[in-house]
Amino acid sequence: MDASDILSYFFCAAQAAIQLFWMCKLLSRKPDILLVVLFIIVNFAAISLPVPFFVGLIISLSSVILCCRFALHRDRCEAMLYGVLSAEIMWLSYGIFDSLLSLMGSLMNKFNTPFIGMIFLALGNILSLAAYCIVFTAAHRIIKNERTHLQNIMIIFVPLMLVFIVEVYIVKVLYSVADTRSAIGGDVELLLVQGLGIASVLCVLFAYKKCADNFRMSEKIRLYDRERRYSQQYESEVKSYLDAAKSMRHDFKNHILIIGEMLRKEQYSKAAGYISELNNSCENTELKFHTGSPILDIIFTDKLSAISDKVTINCAAVPGIEATDICVIFANAVDNAVCAVSKLPDDERFIKITTQSRGELLFIEFENSFDGKPFEIGTGIENIISAAEKYGGTAQISTHGNTFSLKIIMCNSQH
């Protein structure tokens, strides 16, 4: 093993380390030391061991995808997309290094000494790693914090794979056969093709960013429309409930007269039956939760009746907040809580909902148990935050062990 081999192995390890660093940065994850060492060893083995080229390529690419999937805890779509993206940017950077190295070949021949050759080799590898960092930084700025969706992953995955395959072909086939490279125009043309390849990757990522933005906007519109229908439904149910209660009060004197007449005639069994029917009628119009806010009572009754024994509610009427915004906040928060506790055993479930007014400020807190696993903030939470900001407030999410907490502060004097 000569000095050039040692230098190549060193840059191979550096390449794997930088690749893992940027993957973690792109996916907002922190790797442990064992992951770093294992990833470098696998990539080092794929390049240095005497295995066929495409076998090493598959091992290297698979290691990146598996790292994203299991070590960085991303779903299959994200693992495939970001794994191919990371490998592709690395290969494009390496291809540019090969092109530059070939262009500098004539200069190296003038100084045909081992020392100068080592300098050129080190300089080329440094430029390759620098190009990788620059391109990945640009990619990170375009798609940072993006979540992939099955609806649009193929739109970006297919063109990325096409550019990746072309780049592998250029590096492996064209740069290994000098006559072939000369036949298609030389190193300058290949360098231009690889530069266009990088531009294509960034353009595809930008298009994906726009596609993801449109998807999120469509999802928000769909959820807003659903919440508007829910709000109308709850308002209609509130009206029906109040009308039923008003009707019951209106007829109550008549019921008392009828029961009194039955008792006067000593028709006790008949009176008991009439009272039982009247009680059943009252139960059909009775809500299981009583907070002082009819719309909250209906939301809680609709969504929490099945687990009412696991629910603690200390809520009063929510003054100064529009009914639509009450629906957005409480319906989404209760849906999230019910979804979280449904994954737990019955004895571990709990939901606690509290509201409290202090002067012009309204404090709302939702607490519930959950499985303790990492989670993403969904559109429902984003809508809650938007509703809180409408009243000059904010929402804060925190976890402690297996307890999830959503705290909302709003000003209730603006509307």
For position 237, what pLDDT does the model report? Answer: 66
Residue with tokens 């500098």: 104
For position 267, what pLDDT does the model report? Answer: 84
The band of 151, judged by pLDDT with boundaries at 50, 70 and 90, is: low
For position 174, what pLDDT does the model report? Answer: 65
Q: Tell me the residue type at 56.
A: G
Half-sphere exposure of 264 (CA within 13 A, CB side): 6
Of 2-16, 274-288, 355-369, the range with the highest mean pLDDT is 355-369
Top pLDDT among 237 and 66 is at 66
Top pLDDT among 17 and 307 is at 307
Phi then psi for residue 353, to 5 deg, are -125, 130
- Rounded Cα gap, residues 369 and 312, in angstroms: 13
Q: How far is CA 134 from CA 18, 86, 221, 277, in A?
A: 12, 13, 36, 77
**Least confident window among 46-55, 263-272, 380-389:** 46-55
Of 32-36, 131-135, 147-151, 366-370, the range with the highest mean pLDDT is 366-370
SS3 category, 172: helix
Q: How many residues does the chain have?
A: 415
**Least confident window among 95-104, 132-141, 167-176, 178-187:** 178-187
Check pLDDT > 70 for residue 149. no
The band of 21, judged by pLDDT with boundaries at 50, 70 and 90, is: confident
Q: What is the mean predicted confidence (pLDDT) over 84-89?
A: 84
Number of Cβ within 10 Å of residue 151's Cβ equals 11
Top pLDDT among 291 and 49 is at 291
For position 364, what pLDDT does the model report? Answer: 94
For position 76, what pLDDT does the model report? Answer: 77
For position 257, what pLDDT does the model report? Answer: 81
The band of 231, judged by pLDDT with boundaries at 50, 70 and 90, is: low
| pLDDT tens figures, 347-362 | 999 999 999 888 888 9
- Rounded Cα gap, residues 372 and 393, in angstroms: 27
Give the tokens for residue 330.
């409480």
Q: What is the mean predicted confidence (pLDDT) over 187-191?
A: 76
Give the tokens for residue 167.
């780049």
Check pLDDT > 80 for residue 85. yes
